[in-house]
Structure 1
Amino acid sequence: VVPRDFIERAETVICHCDPERFGFLYRLLWRLRSEPKLLSIATDPDIRRLEAMEKAVHRDIHKMRAFVRFRKIGEGPDERYVAWFEPDHYIVERNADFFVRRFTGMRWTILTPHASADWDGERLAMGPGAAKRDAPAEDDAEALWRTYFENIFNPARLKVKAMQKEMPKKYWRNLPEASLIPDLIAGADKAASDMIARMPTSPAPHHAKVKAKHWPTPEPSDVAAPEADDIPELREEAKGCRRCPLWRDATQTVFGEGPENADVIFVGEQPGDQEDLAGKPFVGPAGKVFDSILDDAAIDRHKVYVTNAVKHFKFEPRGKRRIHSKPNAGEIQACRWWLDKELDLVKPNLVVALGATAAQSLLGKAVPITKMRGDVVEREDGLRVFLTIHPSFILRIREQEDKEAERERFLQDMRKVKQLMGA
């Protein structure tokens, strides 16, 4: 009996361009007779080869779906869309149903060197391979498409290596927009600088009325130190905090969350845009990175306390967006009162400072995070503070390889935290 998994995987691998694929699959089939668990042995050379061939075919299928560009020929009853594509593997027939589902209402033909697929609106027909000259060179819509592509290009998010990984240069010769890419890359730095230099726009005139209606301002609290006996009471007191001007523009106070008997407290910088709206710490993009790495380090977020050095979102408005702005020393000092009270109530054995702002708040002075990363600093009160980066730093790295390396470093930091928690 042949495992169903082998049949499904063989149907994929048979599309590979390797001329030895049939002999290779036969060898696997023969081995499965005496090694029924062969497919689960990831270290076996044949299985590694099988997985590599599968991955190559699946990637080629994905690239075909992403980079096929149809060109219109004919008008009225004779209207048809024709595309030329150069896949690495024999994937046209395997991929044709996708294009039927996506473009059911069109009559189209996809030409490749290996095979062709033709859909007349009712029936799919496979045919022989073709040459590039058999496909139209250009159509009237391509100038419009290039204009659209040029205007949606975001120079601030340009990552050349990542782009070329997802859109290898071998596909460029058949993409209408590819002629724009070199100039867009060359001018990206200046375009990004121009974007940053633009003045932020003010909120719409009716913003104040909307805010007053939907986000009522709490009554001011006294400036005296909070007298709460537990975290829920402290959270309620913090809703009326007026210790610095940040409360005026923020949606709400974003207080810490977690068990009051947690062994460790993670302290970030300040809430971001999504945290400000949700009223919860670390739920935005950086929070997702944080959760993922905690999970990889076997740290249960539900068993730790998570908070920020500054409890209100500081930002600059730019159009319809709110861009994060780093809190200053006065704002950090004003909010330190709340953080100290959280530390008093939770009484952790360890505090993790995520970034320079958190470290400054916890230690009372600025420290070089990059030099002291991974160090444990003991405060005068005996509390241990572990220093590392903020997870948002990982998100700001452009190159994918560097991003993955930094994520691995942060994971190692969290594994050290796990060991310190156990100690």
Structure 2
Amino acid sequence: MRIRIAQEFAEWRKLARAAVAKSIPPEAIDFYDPAYAGTSELFSAEDICSADLTQDVPDTRPHVPKSFMEMAVIAAYHNDPQRWNLLYRLLWRLQRQRELMKVQVDADVNALFRLAEQVRRDEHKMHAFVRFRRVEEQDGEERFIAWYEPQHHILKLAAPFFAERFAVMRWSILTPDGSASWEPSTKQLQYGPPVTREQAPSSDELEELWKSYYASIFNPARLNPDAMRGHMPVRYWGNLPEIELLPQLMTTAAKRVEGMVAIQAGKPSAAPFVPAKHTLTLIREALPTCKGCELYKHATHVVPGRGAGHAPLMLVGEQPGDQEDLQGLPFVGPAGGVLRKAMAEAGIADSDIFMTNAVKHFKFVQRGKSRLHQNPRMSEITACKPWLLAELDALKPKLVLCLGASAAKSLLGGTFGLMRDRGKVLSTPFAEHVMATIHPSAVLRAPDEEMRHTLYQHLLNDLLAAYRFVMKAA
């Protein structure tokens, strides 16, 4: 008995359920795809109409595990002409072997997994290698058209990805198996007949822009030609405009890497001055030798951290101020006074905290006899970071509370938003628990009393939350 299936899982599912219900064994039925049948076989006398198979079906429901359905839906997009018979054979066996899908060493189960994996891999490549080209249609509207040759029948599987990614564009993807088009006005995918390569545009003015972008993001330090060929097989090269850039990019990769290393080596860093063994005493003794960035040249003192060596709470400020620089101690100026007041209200004792700064030298600009604070650059925060990491390693606090944006960026990265994420306990590779709040100096800079009160309450509330966290963790 031969049954035609036209590349649609829903059609096979209906017919296969009917065949199982009628107890037709796999060896007695042949599901075939007419696209793979020879001319002499198209009108075989053994063919029966699918409508005949679905008539007078017994009222029974076959056992169809979820795991089988998930894999079968994907495998149905494969180009293997025997996929329908494989699916039916498994469906038939599952009526008697309910746990069959768990036996991955079974030949049929293994074959199903293999087909599904190959389809998923082909879908992934389509997502990666489709390149749209701009054309202007007769109505004056622009449309983006791509030609692509998938290995399997995955157009309907892959197209929804492009509908979501390029929802505001009018686009079409043309393949030898069919075409897919998206209209933003209707928000619907439409499928059409197959087309030839000649019906797709060969290039457009946007390709030069794309090639410039590709060249700018190409990382020569990660060049691996064998891996590139594995992920970007030759069969896809004809549709990728960036391919013509690769010979030159690969030829110049070594020199570009040398340049990157030279730039990296030239960046300032305190790392050579940090002692190998991280104790607070050794760190304090080594700090005066630091010349990791230019800030040491103008500061009076380097300012080490200060506090109990067993403190569960570590407070990290931005950098020393004028008074801190003169005295060589953290948080002894006006901002330190605000912090001390808030700590007293929160009931935080000196024995509970260790105070330090993300940057250990005072950065300022001289105005007459006054020294005006300047925010450290990210490069200076990064240069001083090895000292902060050494202090973290020596102290191992239960929580780090960053005071201000510069301190927060030292541990939480340059994209951290202070007012958006203040008060949240976050995790970083450098400390398991990190929280951020405003810097006490922000209270002093407030334009009016109302704002001053609001900012002080933010600081006080975050100090209370941090203290409760470390007490609860104790």
TM-score, with structure 2 as normaliser = 0.46
Give the fraction of aligned pairs with identical amino acids, expressed as a percent: 38
Matches within 5 A, 1:293-332: none
| Match status 1:115 vs 2:250 | no
- Say if 1:146 and 1:176, in contact at 8 Å, map to a contact too: yes
What do the CA deviations read for 1:21-65 (whole angstroms, capped 9, x no partner)? 011111111110110101111222222211111111111111111
> CA distance change for structure 1 residues 77 and 53 in 2, over 3 Å: closer, same or farther?
same
Q: Does 1:100 align with 2:234?
A: no
Aligned to 1:145, which of 210, 219, 224?
210
Q: How does 1:115-194 map to 2 (within 5 A)?
A: 115-121=178-184, 122=186, 123-194=188-259
Superposed displacement of residue 201, structure 1: 5.4
Alignment of 1:10-409 (within 5 A): 10-74=72-136, 77-121=140-184, 122=186, 123-198=188-263, 200=266, 214-216=318-320, 249-250=384-385, 251-252=387-388, 253-255=391-393, 277=411, 284=429
- The structural deviation recorded for 1:236 is 6.0
Query: Structure 1 residues 248, 10: closer, same or farther in 2, change over 3 A?
Result: closer
- Cα distance in 1 between the residues matched to 2:101 and 2:153: 24
Deviations 1:275-297 (A, max 9, x none): 9737xxx964xx9xxxxxxxxxx
Asked whether the equivalents of residues 13 and 21 of structure 1 are also in contact (C-alpha less than 8 Å), the reply is yes
SS class of match (2:105): coil
The CA deviation string for residues 328-366 of structure 1, in whole angstroms up to 9 with x for no partner, is: xxxxxxxxxxxxxxxxxxxxxxxxxxxxxxxxxxxxxxx
- Residue 171 of structure 2 aligns with an amino acid whose one-letter code is W
Do the aligned residues in 2 keep the contact of 1:254 with 1:275 (CA within 8 Å)?
no
Unaligned runs of 5+ in 2: 1-62, 269-292, 304-316, 330-350, 361-381, 398-407, 413-426, 433-474
Return the alpha-carbon distance in structure 1 between the equivalents of residues 134 and 294 of structure 2.
44
Residues 1-38 of structure 1: CA deviation (Å, up to 9, x unaligned) = 21122222211100001111011111111110110101
Q: Does structure 2 conserve the Cα–Cα contact (< 8 Å) formed by 1:254 and 1:276?
A: no
- Conserved in 1, the CA contact under 8 Å of 2:135 and 2:142? yes
Encode CA deviations 1:233-265: one digit per residue, 9 max, x unaligned: 9x96999xx9xxxx9933512316889xxxxxx
Matched-pair contact (CA < 8 Å) for 1:275–1:283: no
Give the distance between the partners of 2:396 and 2:226, measured in 1 at CA. 40
Going from structure 1 to structure 2, the CA distance change for 1:46 and 1:65 (only over 3 Å counts) comes to: same
User: How many Å separate the matches in 2 of 1:139 and 1:88?
Assistant: 26
Match of 2:279 in 1: none
8 Å Cα contact 2:411-2:428 kept in structure 1? no
Higher relative contact order (CA 8 A, sep 6+): 1
CA distance in 2, matches of 1:167, 1:215: 49
Query: CA separation of 1:255/1:238 partners in 2, compared to 1, >3 Å: closer, same or farther?
Result: farther
Offset, 1:145: 0.9
Q: Distance in 2 between matches of 1:255 and 1:275?
A: 18
Provide closer, same or farther for how the CA distance between residues 101 and 276 of structure 1 changes in structure 2, counting only shifts above 3 A: closer
For 2:384, give the aligned amino acid: D
Task: Return closer, same or farther for 1:34/1:248 CA change in 2, 3 Å cut-off.
Answer: closer
Distance 1:73 1:276, change over 3 A: closer
Q: 1:48 to 1:197 in 2, by over 3 A?
A: same
Post-superposition CA distance 1:108-145 (Å, at most 9, x none): 11011111112233232212222111100000110111
Is the contact made by 1:80 and 1:106 (CA closer than 8 Å) also made in structure 2?
yes
User: Deviations for 1:192-231, whole angstroms, at most 9, x for unmatched residues?
Assistant: 11222347356798xx99x98614499989xxxxxxxxxx
Q: How many residues align?
A: 256
Q: In the aligned structure 1, how far is the partner of 2:395 from the partner of 2:104? A: 41
Residue type of the alignment partner of 1:57:
V
1:117–1:257 Cα change, 3 Å: farther
TM normalised by structure 1 equals 0.52
Which runs of 5 or more structure 1 residues have no equivalent in the other structure? 222-232, 260-273, 288-300, 302-423
Aligned partners of 2:89, 2:395: CA distance in 1, in Å?
Answer: 57
Give the secondary-structure state (helix, strand or coil) at the position aligned to 1:77.
Answer: coil
The 1:117/1:237 distance shift into structure 2, 3 A limit, reads closer
Is residue 148–residue 175 contact of structure 2 (8 Å, CA) maintained in 1? yes
SS for the counterpart of 2:95 is helix
The residue identity in structure 2 corresponding to 1:83 is: A
1:6 matched residue in structure 2:
68
Residues 64-120 of structure 1: per-residue CA shift (max 9 Å, x gap): 111111101116733111101111110001222222222222211101111111223
SS, match of residue 105 in structure 1: coil
Largest Rg, 1 or 2: 2
Determine helix, strand or coil for the equivalent of 2:393. coil
1:238/1:255 contact within 8 Å kept: no
CA contact (8 A) 2:149 2:176 kept: yes
